[in-house]
Amino acid sequence: MAKNGQIEGGAVLGRVLSVLVILAGILFAAQLCLASPADHSQVPSIFDPHSGNADLLYRLSGFVLSITGLIFVVVFTLLVYVVIRFRERPTNAGREPAQVYGSNQIELAWTVIPILIVVVLFLATARVIHAIQDAPEPAEALEVTAIGHQFWWEYRFPALGVVTANELHIPVSDRAHPRPTFLKLLSADTDHSFWVPQLGGKTDLIPNHINRIWFSPQETGLFLGQCAQYCGTQHAKMLLRVSVESEEDFDAWIQAQKEPAIQDEKESAGRRVFETTACLNCHAVGGTNGTGRFGPDLTHLMSRQTIAAGAAENTPANLRLWIQNPDAIKFGSLMPAMKLSDADLDALVRYLETLK
Ligand code: HEC
Ligand SMILES: [Cu+2]
């Protein structure tokens, strides 16, 4: 009796637990649906590829998901069938079902079929890895070096002499004018990970080790991503923004970035604050004696829509708040609060506003 009681207790507990798990699953799915923004074109999803290698990954994941989905359906159907068909009934209560041992056919089937499935998945994956990793770099490719910092991105275009931060601009690479972007990935401190799902797979940026990734985006537009490797407190506010532009727009952007900073005489007070405080040890502004590299290059700060790696919009109010107290926008960022007087702060923000 006592033993039976235990078994029933276990079964009830099991049922309660499975109901709880299902409920949690439903709540989680509902929360995901509610949390996704209304504009679905902005959701960085691997199921919406816009670049050659993202497309290869998308097709591979579709293939893997359909095979594993099929396995799920077959196994689950058999399971439900067996549970219902062979359940305990008054007619067979307490009797053991027929025991089958050593059936060569069955054992061969459940060994060979899974091996075949694994081999197929392996070959399909190896083919895509080869196509992406070993793709030759064409002569017309654009070369960019991306450097991960806690908690922002530095971009260098070595052949074009441009250095910028956080917002990457690259040309569209359509069939008529193929011009893929080849990125060299480096890190200044810890591990980071570059992931813009609509453009390509996730690749880590590791100190003292060069990784590579390339994109051949087929459409213009803004593609978003996120540092995908926990790299410190503000890892979540280390956003990626890649603007894919027509050849003309991209060339115009490069030309503008190559210009030295405009030095507006009216804002010399703000410039003096910049050049006489610690700003210039960490930030570069082309044409001034600020050549610091610890923080983002500010030469063309106003050409960016966001500051602090996408943590805030680039508005005068946010700039002022950022310089006064970076923690208010990104807690734990590596820029110190500069403790400036209100007058210096206003002059400085006016000066930064001229860095077009
Ligand atoms: C100790 C180094 C350091 C000093 C000093 C410093 N900064 Fe920074 N600054 C940083 C770092 C690091 C970031 C990037 C923070 C992030 O996004 O996580 C940054 C970001 C910024 C940004 C946002 C840039 C962008 O494109 O996202 C601005 C603007 C800025 N700093 C202005 C200033 C000004 C003005 C001063 C002087 C009053 C100053 N900083 C002093 C390190 C410094
Ligand atoms: Cu990071």
Three-state secondary structure string covering 222-250: EEEEECCCCCCCCHHHCEEEEEEECHHHH
Q: Which of 11-20, 184-193, 332-341 has the highest mean pLDDT?
A: 184-193
User: Percentage of the chain surpassing pLDDT 90?
Assistant: 66
From the CB of 147, is ligand 1 less than 6 Å away? Answer: no
From the CB of 286, is ligand 1 less than 6 Å away? Answer: no
CA distances (Å), origin 266, targets 232, 262, 347, 353, 354: 40, 11, 10, 12, 10
From the CB of 258, is ligand 1 less than 6 Å away? Answer: no
From the CB of 304, is ligand 1 less than 6 Å away? Answer: yes
Q: Which ligand is nearest to the CA of 189?
A: 2
Starting at the edge strand found earlier in the chain, the sheet holding 239-245 runs 167-171, 239-245, 221-226
Confidence band for 142, pLDDT divided at 50, 70 and 90: very high
The protein residue whose alpha carbon is closest to atom 17 in ligand 1 is 308
**Nearest alpha carbon to residue 213 among 241, 193, 240:** 193
**Nearest alpha carbon to residue 146 among 211, 50, 49, 196:** 211
pLDDT surpassing 50 at residue 36: no
Give the pLDDT of residue 288.
Answer: 81
From the CB of 333, is ligand 1 less than 6 Å away? Answer: yes
pLDDT surpassing 70 at residue 1: no
User: Ligand 1 pocket test: which of 283, 294, 304, 333 has the largest number of ligand atoms within 8 Å of its C-beta?
Assistant: 283
Give the pLDDT of residue 241.
Answer: 95
Give the pLDDT of residue 176.
Answer: 82
Confidence band for 93, pLDDT divided at 50, 70 and 90: confident
Q: Which ligand is nearest to the CA of 306?
A: 1
Q: Is the dihedral of CA 40, 152, 244, 182 positive or negative?
A: negative
Q: Quick check: bond before 250 cis, omega within 30?
A: no
From the CB of 283, is ligand 1 less than 6 Å away? Answer: yes
| Residue 155 CA, ligand 2 centroid: distance in Å | 14
Q: Which two tokens stand for residue 240?
A: 């990626």
| Residue 79 CA, ligand 2 centroid: distance in Å | 44
Name the strand (E) or helix (H) holding 9.
helix 2-35
Q: Which ligand is nearest to the CA of 227?
A: 2
**The CATH number of 265-352 is which of 2.60.40.10, 3.40.50.720, 2.60.40.420, 3.40.1190.20?**
2.60.40.420
C-beta separation of 159 from 137 below 8 A: no
Give residue-wise pLDDT tens across range 226-242. Answer: 999 999 988 889 999 99
This prediction has a pTM of: 0.83
Q: Which CATH class is domain 44-83+106-218?
A: mainly beta
From the CB of 202, is ligand 1 less than 6 Å away? Answer: no
Strand 152-157 vs strand 162-165: parallel, antiparallel, or unpaired?
Answer: antiparallel
pLDDT surpassing 80 at residue 51: yes
* Interatomic CA distance for residues 46 and 201, integer angstroms: 9
Residue spans in the chain of domains classed CATH 2.60.40.420: 265-352
Confidence band for 108, pLDDT divided at 50, 70 and 90: very high
Name the strand (E) or helix (H) holding 142.
strand 142-149
Beta-carbon contacts of 251 under 8 Å, excluding residues fewer than 6 positions away, are none
pLDDT surpassing 60 at residue 251: yes
* Interatomic CA distance for residues 118 and 110, integer angstroms: 13
Give the pLDDT of residue 262.
Answer: 75
| Residue 306 CA, ligand 1 centroid: distance in Å | 13
| Residue 151 CA, ligand 2 centroid: distance in Å | 6
